[in-house]
Amino acid sequence: TSTNMKTFTLTIVAIAVIIIMTTLSGCKPDEPTAEELFFEKTSGSWTATMVSVDNTVLEGAFDGFAITIKTDRTYTTSNGHAPIWPASGTFTTKAVTSTAGFNFVRSDGVEVEVVELTENDLILRFDYVSPGGRKSSVSGGYRFELIK
């Protein structure tokens, strides 16, 4: 009976090992979240191909505009004409029903709509309202068409 008990124990252990191996081999890595996929596409350096305000193309005003978006929810810009685009800042994301799925909300409170997002193209749109004074001409609906 000792031999039968050893055989029975080995059989149970073998079955347990097979069940555990089958279970572990079926595990898949976690699928990325919608926000992680959004950051995968938006992170990186983008350069403006066209900038407009209230549907009027701005010639020369934003030449050389570039923005670098990082997954740590920070950004830096060059030739952003602060306060339109501050030289750097932080942002949060806001879930929306657009194709991109999210908008950016800058730390200065400006919500930046992600109009279009592909691997190499990004279109951002936001309304900027100047506090007044001599810079009131910068108020309007800005649209930045960017490439990676």
User: How confident is the prediction along the chain (148 residues), in pLDDT tens digits per residue?
Assistant: 667 777 777 777 767 667 776 666 656 678 889 999 999 999 999 999 999 999 999 988 899 999 999 999 999 999 999 989 999 999 999 999 988 999 999 999 999 999 999 999 999 999 998 876 554 458 899 999 999 9
End-to-end CA distance of the chain: 74
pTM of the model: 0.77
CA dist 133 → 7, 129, 138 (Å): 91, 12, 11
pLDDT recorded at residue 130: 81
How many whole angstroms separate alpha carbon 50 and alpha carbon 62?
Answer: 8
Cis ω before 83 (30° cut-off from 0): yes
